[in-house]
Structure 1
């Protein structure tokens, strides 16, 4: 494992860990390989739920609404336990039913999940909004993995030399897409950030059906209200949003998770030239998808 620090000719600097030829967030635990081995062999339970997302794709939003549905409560659950960053023994000791999270690309999730032994909720967001949201996030935290302007950041995002969880957004999405297409035994629910924004309640119904929980319409409509993006943003601003694990990023570990939560924010952040470059890279890197995906960019 190597810690890589790259600075371009404009002074933009990015830091990440490299392991087995892949890039990982600097905060990935230890030498990465040992943590990945622990994740691969993690002992799951039949009622476990693994939430899988690329960063800035609605992780905390979906986690809290799904957790309410899973447990039958309306409490804010804060930040999920994240497999690549957390001591695995902490997740192992969690009471059932458990829900935990990873940003990891498909090859690095628990083997039990690959074998269909637990439920997976996978959330996809259009990469332009994910990229811009991530840039804003990194600009707000202390000890950031990226320092610089949007141009340098975008060059890194569009490459494989990015702060990944096993790869860039393109690698992450391609590998999950292939896995979903070729492994019909996976117990997986695929959600799109943009669909959640269009019709939150219908997606709450999908989550409830997938988790096979019997909640009435009145409860699920309360979930819709309490788990609205704006309401969770307010909850996150309280002490419930603090996390010991992320104290080194500032604000007592309360990460700047909830930005605007809108579709199409990239139009306010990318120049015409940057957007055209993004489109060229997207077309090239996503041309061999196992199953075509239809993304909403506005």
Structure 2
């Protein structure tokens, strides 16, 4: 079975090596402020896209300045440990940064900082249909050294994904935990990847209103254009391979297709049947709906 470098099981959840147990414990007690914004998402759900939008909205839509600063320097990832070692200097840098701070995490809800769980900090959670997440995650596993550059087949990865034996565990359990804990919380904004693709301007409107920011129509259009899939793919400040050598884009680019329904090019009929059964068992009664492309929407 494939192994992620430094992987470990933390309370039953498979964690990558850049989340050693020490940083998870530190993150639980990380000091958040009401002026912060935390963006959360299961991997490959559109988090990088959202954080770039939020960064521009929070910091006065200065596109020229943003283009000179890599996204990782504008968005803090407090629970990430380079080479699996806790960087206390990085944590101090975050702690001393001026408001408003923008932070991201893939961590499960139960491991979020106390202030986030106590509903004191604005949080944006991104949702994407799980079939496309599975395909995108497969390619991410293949190209990312931090995930061991998976060399197995799609069929092998599908079995890992559907069984929850991937980094951060079961997609279904992960999403349901956030949904059940936060769906009634006015301090949490849920955004859907597919709706953002259809109407990115509306996503900018929702985020700006949620954060109490007023944008002109001109600023909105600039942000929409700046954060389009093609723009972010070409922009050195957001093109992840230009920032880190962990991603091998000759295997699969970080910004791959950015479309809805690509799962149809991978799922066999049998895999789709298995997936649908698992989806119903896990998500039934949740009230969540997902757009799987070509006018196929599933509501549970």
| Partner in structure 1 of residue 105 of structure 2 | 102
Q: State the 1:239 CA deviation.
A: 7.7
Is 1:174 matched with 2:176? Answer: yes
Aligned to 2:297: none
Residue 237 of structure 1: CA displacement? 7.7
Q: CA RMSD in A?
A: 2.2
**Alpha-carbon contact 1:141-1:256 (below 8 Å) kept:** no
The TM-score, its normalising length taken from structure 2, stands at 0.84
Q: Secondary structure at the match of 2:219?
A: helix
Correspondence 1:78 to 2:81: no
Distance 1:221 1:89 in 2: 36
User: Counterpart in 2 of 1:214?
Assistant: 214
Gaps of 5+ in 2: 82-86, 294-300
Distance in 1 separating the partners of 2:192 and 2:228: 16
Relative to structure 1, is the Cα distance of residues 250 and 128 closer, same or farther in structure 2, using a 3 angstrom cutoff?
closer
| Separation of aligned partners in 2, 1:278 and 1:59 | 24
| TM-score, normalization by structure 1 | 0.85
| Residues 100 and 237 (structure 1), Cα distance of their counterparts in 2 relative to 1, 3 Å cut | closer
SS of the equivalent of 2:208 reads helix
Matched, 1:147 2:151: yes
Task: Kindly state the Cα deviation for residue 220 of structure 1 after the two structures are TM-superposed.
Answer: 1.0
Report the count of equivalent residues.
Answer: 273
**CA–CA separation in structure 2 for the residues paired with 1:78 and 1:137:** 19
- Contact 2:71/2:237 (<8 A) preserved: no
1:6-45 map, 5 Å: 7=1, 13-15=2-4, 16-28=7-19, 30=20, 32=21, 34-45=22-33
Kindly state the Cα deviation for residue 23 of structure 1 after the two structures are TM-superposed: 1.8
Secondary structure at the counterpart of residue 45 of structure 1:
coil
Q: 1:106 to 1:67 in 2, by over 3 A?
A: same
Give 1:90 shift.
Answer: 3.7
Shift of 1:187: 0.8
CA displacement 1:246-278 (0-9 Å, x = unmatched): 54x2569xx942111000010112222111111
Question: What is the CA-CA distance between 1:210 and the residue it aligns to?
Answer: 0.5
Q: Which runs of 5+ in 1 are unaligned?
A: 1-6, 8-12
3-state SS, counterpart of residue 289 of structure 2: coil
